[in-house]
Amino acid sequence: MRLLVDRSVRPFFRLNPSHLRGKIIYMGNILADFTDTESVKASIKENWKNYHYFLGRAPSVELSIGRYLTWLITDMPDHFLNMVVCTELPQEGSEILIKEALEHFKTLDIKKLCWLAETGVPAQEIKKHLLANGLTFRESFATEMAIDLTAISGDRVDPDGLEIILVDDDVSLRQWIHVASVGFGVSPEMEDVWFEFFNYAACRTPFQTYLGLLHGKPVATSQVSNSAGVAGIYNVTCLPEARRRGIGSALVMKPLLATRNIGMKIGVLQSSSMGYNAYRRLGFQDFGQLSVYLWDQGAVS
């Protein structure tokens, strides 16, 4: 992990010194009130941000923690796996701050990233600077959704021939990454890059990583990350031939029921337009839109 910390200012991420030894112990109190809309919305976003920071255990990624900008950068050319969070803007020098950050990402040859502006950051000012530097604004990058785990039934029947296992070794993790790469359209040559940093986190707290086997063949993936008081679902995908058979739904519900068994009350996720209707059928409810700026190195002049 390339860890950059501005020690002169307040860090955004709740960093425990044990993080430097590869252990993140921050969890937060379990959120129990599904009707507390503002708390649920805040936890959805916190869980999403924490997901990225937990990946900071790997030596090949860069986790930078500062007063104004915090980021997690990997070698994957993927908007989701490279994230910048702007927590506030300085009274002077905002343009320089953003330009220097983007120049740094260029030197690392980062192809894609997403940029999140926290509530309270002057919206028009950050938008002006980011658009001027070649980023594009996506008001509805994903739909933020949540489900009341206390209200769902545990009496579910998985599709015939489906076995869902926990990923707990290099062999099953490589299988997981291959299926996820196919499902998300990641180039095969990036699988080793993904494995290089994912194997430091995927099988460790707060993650549980699941692989779906259909008649013994790996066909589906999911993950759950327990932080910010909620259970966050990530990386749900299936091979094309395994879609529309209830397999993806099973890969969502099994992790959620497992987290309910250890006391979690609310499950959350960020849904693409493709998965939205399926999540609604499972009982997820809308809690707003995730708005981000997207950057592609080739698009920046």
pLDDT tens per residue across span 175-210: 999 999 999 999 999 999 999 999 999 999 999 999
Output the pTM of the full model: 0.89
Residue 193 CA to residue 191 CA, distance in Å, equals 5
pLDDT tens per residue across span 121-180: 999 999 999 999 999 999 999 999 999 999 998 788 889 999 999 999 999 999 999 999
Q: What's the token pair of residue 219? A: 């066909």
Handedness of CA 262, 31, 221, 247 (dihedral sign): positive
Name which of 154, 152, 221, 150 is nearest 183 in CA terms.
221
Residue 241 CA to residue 231 CA, distance in Å, equals 28
The fold of 148-290 is: Aminopeptidase (3.40.630)
Residue 248 CA to residue 261 CA, distance in Å, equals 21
Q: What's the token pair of residue 191? A: 């699988």
Q: What's the token pair of residue 144? A: 């933020």
